Structure 1
């Protein structure tokens, strides 16, 4: 038993001690005894110093192929089956993980065995992938320069989402059968130039507040570029209170959630329609994105975890309702801010004993009865009454009693 634990810890140490470009080869060596394989593909959103797509042992794997694998794999629920990587259908064991304070990761193991790995083997692979993903995120966070005046984590995530949306739009243009080569190049430039200018400007600027209607219109305009060449109809229902000011962080998070939701839905394939709506309530903005796709987007998919983390920054909630054969609905509630406590009223300034005395004043009791009921002297009652009148800013017992009615239990 001790020897097996020692071997397992030694294997984990080899992975975490490897340089960044050696993590995947070392992980492959560790996994070879558990899952015979010809190659690994690791996708992580935390590694900003190098490509988020790391490949070992296989040539020609594309990010587009991996993006189609992501929605098939739920966090901590390994998936096994045939999947096309590098243009060839292969047996793949895929594991998605989401360690705390990371954007998560997905590992695809191209197996060479004759059947699916046993459940205990899948569990070990999952834990190793979780360790590797957390380790990469930690290594990158220490390797990257930290500037207190630089962009926030959420700003970086928003830029990453915007880049993903731009690339998806460009892929849609280049694959479109409605455009010839010259037209496709022209449209691609029209999409890429504004995105490049926005990226160089550092993304969105904090405007303090945005009108709900304008924020929604800006979102739908950008989404139309994303969906136009994917043979996808975009329907939108804007907020009724178009002039209602939204806190900037709420508006930005709403745009990020919608963009991420549409990208996650597109990864399912088989969509023809997406409907977007914003509803402004007294204390929150409700964002709803609905598609008519296969309904295969799991509530614990990696992309959903990332959306949920983004919403949680504002104290909001996000839910996924996927019905096979009917479509998926993603709903996010974004509060406008923390609940502000009501300012203290005059009665809140009284201490417990003074509140007891005021209670009896409200019942019309005289000092002697109050003293008897509370077990104190009449002089003490007079002292408390004087303090009550001063704190409430009134001049008589009757005024104090009037304030107390309905307030003292």
Structure 2
């Protein structure tokens, strides 16, 4: 498909939706397919500071990608600014070759670099570069949302589930997915003429941008919300899906005295994002025409029930992939899935009305996944050379991470950092193999 076809909104949205739904092991291959008509390439190589097991990921010509080292990618990264793709020659796979380098750093990420190795070495058209950047940004949002599914549980369970950065990334992902689903439904709606469809699409995009800019803005969020207001915000979030799509959403909110109950904002936020994520996960099954969302505010908990009329094949693992169970667990809640083939699925989310106290002594909550990896090996008594070998990074990079760890933990020595981590319950058993 030629570059001119990217002027078709449905084409662009379909590609974006595919990226936002790709499993983590298929993100690069999905991105490669999307880039094929923009930049003909032999391979993609990714350098990330967030993955707990490998600094580089790749797709394409195996002989080429296996020869690219993390050190070469790190050197390339020093010449690329975030949001400004750069085409130039660089040393990769032990040879000077043309490469298109694109950098991205979504919220909560240490940053990631994408190296696109063109087939014939021809520079891409300048008008292509912004599209490549946007696709890489979307891919990184998807990767960041899925990182917790590949991070060893014993490294991150106490900290990542409660991480504000992780919450923001998850909210951004859900918001993107909801908007893309709505726009695709709008473009497929044959009852709207072209002019109306375009105007409506612009309104949707503007509303989405406003919502995205407000994500994570905790200064404007009150400490408590009434159940009525909290549920109303959820219906606004999901309303677009039914307005322009083929699914009918039914809402049953709290009534009477229950509607006026005050709910801690952290509980209301978790209930909303979990419910919205569940609806989007249900729609991924296909064959869903109706979803009913109800909230019940009881003496000690908020109970959200989401029921669909789909194939009844939704598994609890699907919710775990989207971190919905983690979000509930972070506030001492739980998610139950009852799927009956041929009869649909019922997901029940139970959240306590008492907001959990934030751990004041939670210094590790500020560390990103890569820093947690370094800290784990540091706790085990390993020196920089061993840590570098275990994590496949340079000793210089290890020194950089150690310095960041000491600063974030407000300590001056490695021993103090290790003692603080152990006091916070950090695992001492090796989680990474040699």
TM-score by length of 2: 0.47
Larger Rg: 1
With CA pairs under 8 Å and 6+ residues apart, which has the higher RCO, 1 or 2? 2
